[in-house]
Structure 1
């Protein structure tokens, strides 16, 4: 289907959905409980806490607005056969009646500062983190499915300078400075299609928590952020399944009760790009391979032709839940993520010579967790896990008759033990121990000349931590303070990391927030050469050696003020972050520093601002981030400070969503100033083949601008069966955004400019069914 055909299909779906929603004969008084609760929260200044399955498929008549809170809760109890337990003046827990576990579950979630943050399913908590529930997820511009790592880029202070989920920059940090957890297991691969699609299936990943600062001491690593993803952890004795497809992949999932005490969850996804050519795949293909060995942008295009590309990806996840008793639970997790690419290179000089290049990327993870409810105050968990990442490439240079093999492998084995003690209604204590053994190897082999290199590093870390959470009697003040100690065996070094999160409500409308933390990490990603791993997935994982690759350490603090009244939320947060121990090879330099190894640091200071107004069917927001991000390296730029490669000085998003009945619409505009770049000097030394440059990062690329639109429509066939259709266009105006520029010499020794462009106009459509 042509791009124009996809565009017409989108318009058709859009207007037919509107027409259907207008013509639909609905009873406005009879509504899903989930929708009613959302309307009741601001009306009564309360927050409902519940497991999604508890209220699933519950439909009742809408209560009258003049009811008192007590009368409202009595009405809801009578209509739903559920328990509505009042925790305090603002928090109410919903649970099934006669739940055998209810007497052991006393843990209270942090107070929700704002619900429907940007869109439905996203909320901000009193401890500073952002919580995302995929089942309740509304819609965002350009997305027709709840893509986890694309969704978090809608949050202030988070973006990707190259539009990928494998390069997420949180307040000026690199992607390897994000700790990405899947059910407590560290993941070293985050993207499919080499960064354009999240590698985590959202339909069984129910909860995502994102922390940019002031994180809990239970988390190690991640000097920039923590992205903690959790699958459903409760048995609901209800079979659920779904399947769907879009123009990139097809997927399916199922929650299957095995017995009264056991359940299995399954999800699988596979790309369709190796047997169906779509306009979406065409755009993705151009975006990913535009500056790789496959595209031959710099490799004698008159001598070599690349063709017969075969690309696919898949992921599979499984979770087994078994409740041994009412107090004892066992959970087993398994996940595998894979990307595979092959293509042929044909020599036009010797047409008999055709060689196949390959690239394989895989992340395997498995873990088992035991949870024990000792009494209504004490809960313990123990987890053992393994996470293995493997990146392999075989690259043939047909002109020089050379073969290169490369491999980057990470093996991570971990043990986590945690205890939670509810001292009383106002104080909760955390404590625990964690062990991690990480083995990283890098292998490289050339046949001409004969060369082999294998570097293998091992690091073992022991961590203990303690933390206290306090909530004042009037619920106006929340504080969490903790200390984590990491002992690194290889270096016999001990790092202490205090963390702090404080939130205080001045009155019903204003809240102050202070966040601070110390962190460290021993794993990072580097680029040896820009054409490593075919130039497509060129970053490789390495371990700190405490010499030329230091331990990365960060210190950051933030102060914010938030206003929330009548569904108007205004937030401003000032922050400062210092990160030291970075290497020049981890920063992706493509100027005079490209082949120089050095260690240094960066400091980023800035402000994140958000204004979000919600109406009954409409939500709109404007977010703006200002930051100043500077490097200091010992031997680069004579030791003087210069701009960070990720110094995006200004970033702005303006977007809105509209939801009526079963129709959801979203439109958004994204703008940010161009990233820094280094231009060649106007006068070059003709005796020197190397390019001479101006001051590092003293210029900027053109400003980035993108418009996205999306729409979904839900079809309800019965109580258990429904379907949805969706359509979206990424970069609706087909703006030619330059996301990276570098310079090279051609065969005539002239300097040429190579521009990497963002995705062009990229349509997508989807269809899903759930039963």
Structure 2
């Protein structure tokens, strides 16, 4: 009986304990309530009204404060919810999320087993950055709620995290970092010369403009000027619109902006790049071994891509130099849509600066002519010019979802010139007008259909227009010229990941290019209107292989071009491509590249004495007769050595280009050459050595080229190419002292070839008009070219978010007079030979000031 009573007692005690616990738990649950419901109770009890955004209070629960005073209750609610409660009047209150928050987190590896001390945590678009503690934790105070964090650490994939995800957390959440399994890329990818300039595993060279450091002579990252620091890339006439890659002419470069082919790339007749570098995220240069998705451009491919990600924060900036001013920015509309823009306009039509004066002298110097006694013959001429340029770009970014992204891009480029020349002796004036524009727009759809399959659809329209007029003193002679290019294209590229080591690229492209060339001359009467359309269908395929630890990397592919010039010809061309990269020893890799390429658009260089010599190139289409399709074959073998902060690269190459015309090569002895068809062959060697330290970078590059023409109808058949510059040497160094960056560069190259008149009888008067008797083609050479450039840029912070920099540069520091070109023409009275020389820029100062935020 006692045992039964004892058991009953124990059961009774347990029951009472359970009842008390349940009651306590229920009471605790009852004291936790949704904030929105509790505010409704307060409104009734205290006769007040609360204003708030539903999303801010969604899912927020609170413990009911144990107060009877409204002010005390609201203070307790602010403490619990981190909301800001503001009293507007005796009856009305507002509840808002604070725009600045304090966040914390712990950074772990992706298995949450090991903390990552020393990881960098950066607030995007701001100046706040911190290193994680020894336990992997960090705390950031007063951070914008709408910002995003960038968390990075060597050997791990960088994480981008919205601050909103970490705000208002009761505990510090964990951030898991996935290991980067491609850490061996450091022996395949080489960063040289300056930060942001990288040689990739496929031998392409990329410029990451956001990280691009200083290059001598540049105070702003001019994209096309920066590329000329690389071996094998130069401009024979110091411009960005006439870039020569491995001995090729500028029209043999395929230039793409966001996948759109560009037919104009420069301002001020090629002296300034037309592309804003501050929104350009990456520039890629292929000199050989080009992927099969790229057709056209037998010398190179230059691909420019603007920022393509929506990072949730506004970035922008503005700047001013002695030539122009610009503004740019990217701002999010919501978490799926963003818009970026840039605009630039020159100050040259209302502000005369030393830089403008130097550029003007360089652009219009073809009007300075000397006679056979080397005397200037234009002393009685006065010249006035009104010139300005502008460009603008825009890009709409729309993330449909995580797997599909839509991008719409557009760009506009314009140059306008009004030039007058008055003879003070006769008071007669000639006048010329020039309007050069490029308007382009494109749509891209980037899709990730499955984990191992993606596609990129690109549709674009591009239009180039050159409209020029010349009025002569007699008012009866007038010359009109027009060059119009319109291109439409649809391009689809797919990528299939077959295995961890093999990927397969396939695609199809349709390109339609129409070109119009018109010339109208009043006196003597002359009128031409040449039109043409070329259509290209191009399927292609490429297989890519990467072995374990990147010991061997290979790409093999083929591109098929079906080219049709309406009413003229149709051709089928097969273009194989090869790219092999092999590790032959520790820190040493060898690379073998090869390609066949073709192009059906070229620039003819004509009308040497019209338009003051500043814009003589006209786009035209191949007709397989007077101007055949240009074809190239190229092979190269290179070695790359990199250890710690030292890099050395050596590459030899051979290239042959068939189907060129003397009209596209810039011959300036027009009476001798009349559109002959031939080829050029170039053998070359490129060498680069670079040593970098924590605050300096020094490099030396050398290029050897032997570039020869072959024209069967010219005697002799083989002679030096107009771009045959045998030796090119560059030595440069940059140095950083805290916020100050300094750069100094020396450029040397041997002179280019040209053709002189015969010394004994320079003029042949048996013809009318008279003709020049030339020596053998390109049998003379200009003096060597030498230029020293220097620059300095100082960085500082105007506020927590606004950064500033000021720079000064001096081009041609020694003010050496370099002769870029020399040609001859017959005087107006047919009695003498006149010499026309193009000289390089003299000493050219420039200053700039920029802010970014």
TM-score by length of 1: 0.86
1:540, CA displacement in angstroms? 0.3
Q: Decide whether aligned partners of structure 1 residues 204 and 110 sit closer, same or farther in structure 2, where only a CA change above 3 A counts.
A: farther
User: Counterpart of 2:810?
Assistant: 729
The count of aligned residue pairs is 702
1:344 to 402, 411, 420: 420
Q: Decide whether aligned partners of structure 1 residues 719 and 560 sit closer, same or farther in structure 2, where only a CA change above 3 A counts.
A: same
1:466 to 525, 537, 541: 541
**1:732 aligns to what SS in structure 2?**
coil
2:455 is the counterpart of 1:380: yes
**1:286 aligns to what SS in structure 2?**
helix
| Separation in 2, partners of 1:676, 1:137 | 35
Q: Rg larger in 1 or in 2?
A: 2
| Separation in 2, partners of 1:62, 1:327 | 32
User: Counterpart of 1:555?
Assistant: 633
1:515, CA displacement in angstroms? 0.7
User: Within 5 A, what are the aligned runs for 1:461-500?
Assistant: 461-490=536-565, 491-500=569-578
User: Counterpart of 1:244?
Assistant: 319
2:309 is the counterpart of 1:234: yes
Greater CA deviation, 305-314 or 566-575?
A: 305-314
User: Within 5 A, what are the aligned runs for 1:540-689?
Assistant: 540-591=618-669, 595-638=673-716, 640-684=717-761, 687-688=765-766, 689=770
2:773 is the counterpart of 1:703: no
Residues 54, 96 of structure 1: 8 Å contact kept: no
User: Counterpart of 2:26?
Assistant: none
| Separation in 1, partners of 2:772, 2:570 | 43
Residues 377, 422 of structure 1: 8 Å contact kept: yes
Q: Deviation per CA, 1:254-289, whole angstroms, max 9, x where unpaired?
A: 111111110000100010011110000000000000
1:587, CA displacement in angstroms? 0.9
**1:506 aligns to what SS in structure 2?**
strand
Residues 496, 504 of structure 2: 8 Å contact kept: yes
| Separation in 2, partners of 1:677, 1:748 | 22
2:242 is the counterpart of 1:167: yes
Residues 785, 819 of structure 2: 8 Å contact kept: yes
1:354, CA displacement in angstroms? 4.7
1:538 to 607, 613, 616: 616
Q: Deviation per CA, 1:586-638, whole angstroms, max 9, x where unpaired?
A: 11112366541110000000100000011111100000000100000121125
User: Counterpart of 1:391?
Assistant: 466
User: Counterpart of 1:769?
Assistant: 851
| Separation in 1, partners of 2:478, 2:279 | 42
User: Counterpart of 1:144?
Assistant: 219
Q: Deviation per CA, 1:200-249, whole angstroms, max 9, x where unpaired?
A: 11110110000100011110101000000000011001011100010000
**2:598 aligns to what SS in structure 1?**
strand
1:421, CA displacement in angstroms? 1.3
| Separation in 2, partners of 1:395, 1:224 | 34
Q: Deviation per CA, 1:135-192, whole angstroms, max 9, x where unpaired?
A: 1011111100000000000000010110001111000000000000000000000110
Residues 392, 533 of structure 1: 8 Å contact kept: no
| Separation in 2, partners of 1:190, 1:320 | 22
2:357 to 279, 282, 287: 282
User: Within 5 A, what are the aligned runs for 1:361-380?
Assistant: 361-380=436-455
Residues 445, 458 of structure 2: 8 Å contact kept: yes
| Separation in 2, partners of 1:635, 1:731 | 41
**2:366 aligns to what SS in structure 1?**
coil
Residues 387, 411 of structure 1: 8 Å contact kept: yes
Q: Decide whether aligned partners of structure 1 residues 150 and 609 sit closer, same or farther in structure 2, where only a CA change above 3 A counts.
A: same
2:771 to 667, 670, 690: 690
User: Counterpart of 1:333?
Assistant: 409
1:369, CA displacement in angstroms? 1.0
Residues 443, 453 of structure 1: 8 Å contact kept: yes
2:377 is the counterpart of 1:307: no
1:699, CA displacement in angstroms? 1.6
User: Counterpart of 1:740?
Assistant: 821
User: Counterpart of 1:120?
Assistant: 195
| Separation in 2, partners of 1:150, 1:646 | 18
1:508, CA displacement in angstroms? 2.8
Residues 388, 411 of structure 1: 8 Å contact kept: yes
User: Counterpart of 1:59?
Assistant: 129
Residues 306, 343 of structure 1: 8 Å contact kept: no
RMSD, aligned CA: 2.8
**1:291 aligns to what SS in structure 2?**
helix
**2:158 aligns to what SS in structure 1?**
strand
1:754, CA displacement in angstroms? 2.4
**1:285 aligns to what SS in structure 2?**
helix
2:835 is the counterpart of 1:760: no
| Separation in 1, partners of 2:370, 2:807 | 36
**2:231 aligns to what SS in structure 1?**
coil
User: Within 5 A, what are the aligned runs for 1:152-231?
Assistant: 152-231=227-306
2:405 is the counterpart of 1:324: no
| Separation in 1, partners of 2:591, 2:673 | 43
**1:547 aligns to what SS in structure 2?**
coil
Q: Decide whether aligned partners of structure 1 residues 123 and 686 sit closer, same or farther in structure 2, where only a CA change above 3 A counts.
A: closer
2:333 is the counterpart of 1:258: yes
1:493, CA displacement in angstroms? 1.4
| Separation in 1, partners of 2:139, 2:205 | 33
Higher relative contact order (CA 8 A, sep 6+): 1
Residues 255, 302 of structure 2: 8 Å contact kept: yes
1:438, CA displacement in angstroms? 0.3
User: Counterpart of 1:406?
Assistant: 481
Residues 339, 395 of structure 2: 8 Å contact kept: yes
1:509, CA displacement in angstroms? 1.1
Residues 317, 336 of structure 1: 8 Å contact kept: yes
Greater CA deviation, 188-197 or 502-511?
A: 502-511
| Separation in 2, partners of 1:571, 1:707 | 24
| Separation in 2, partners of 1:766, 1:736 | 26
Residues 110, 127 of structure 1: 8 Å contact kept: no
| Separation in 2, partners of 1:391, 1:110 | 49
Q: Which 5+ residue runs of structure 2 have no aligned equivalent?
A: 1-119, 141-147, 166-175
Residues 114, 564 of structure 1: 8 Å contact kept: no
Residues 607, 625 of structure 1: 8 Å contact kept: yes
| Separation in 1, partners of 2:349, 2:498 | 57
Greater CA deviation, 390-399 or 219-228?
A: 390-399
| Separation in 1, partners of 2:669, 2:223 | 34
**2:281 aligns to what SS in structure 1?**
strand
1:199, CA displacement in angstroms? 0.7
| Separation in 2, partners of 1:540, 1:433 | 29
2:345 to 261, 266, 270: 270
Residues 817, 842 of structure 2: 8 Å contact kept: yes
Q: Decide whether aligned partners of structure 1 residues 512 and 76 sit closer, same or farther in structure 2, where only a CA change above 3 A counts.
A: farther
| Separation in 2, partners of 1:437, 1:107 | 43
1:527, CA displacement in angstroms? 1.5
1:95 to 132, 142, 159: 159
1:303, CA displacement in angstroms? 10
**1:585 aligns to what SS in structure 2?**
coil
Residues 107, 422 of structure 1: 8 Å contact kept: no
User: Counterpart of 2:525?
Assistant: 450
